[in-house]
Amino acid sequence: MNAIGIGIAVLGIAIGLGLIGFSAMQGMSRQPEAIGKMQTAMLIGMAFIEVVMLLLTFVILGSVTK
């Protein structure tokens, strides 16, 4: 059951990460001068989304071991 929960969470987070990467690459191809700024913003956004999955994984693992 926990594995299904992690799977569903990872599905949503992968969609979110993909949307960020998709729009960042689109923006980079449209305006190659602004690649540096876009990469910075993209990395920050990806980092914040990634933390959601990590927190959730730690919460589920904690609930399993107890």
Partner 1 sequence: MEFLAGNLAPFIASAEKGEEHVGFVGILTYAIFVLIVIFCLMAYAKKGMNLRVFKNPILNCFEQLYLFIEKMCVGTIGSHGRKYVSILMTFWMVIFASNVCSLFFPAAPTADVGFNLGMALIAIGYVQYEGIKTNGFFGHLRHFGGPNLGNVLLAILINPLIFLIEIVSEVLKNVSLSLRLYGNIEGGHLAASAMNKLGEGIYVPFGAFLIPIKLLTCVVQALIFTLLLSVYISLVTHHDEPEVDHESADEKERWESGKIAEAMIH
What is the contact surface with partner 1 in residues (CB under 8 A)? 33, 36-37, 40, 43-44, 47-48, 50-51, 54-55, 57-58
E-strand ranges in 8-61 read none
> Would you say 25 or 37 has its CB closer to partner 1?
37
Q: b/e per residue, 22-39, with b = 16+ CB within 10 A?
A: eebeebbeeeeeeeeebe
Shortest gap between Cβ of 51 and partner 1 (angstroms)?
5
Shortest gap between Cβ of 42 and partner 1 (angstroms)?
11
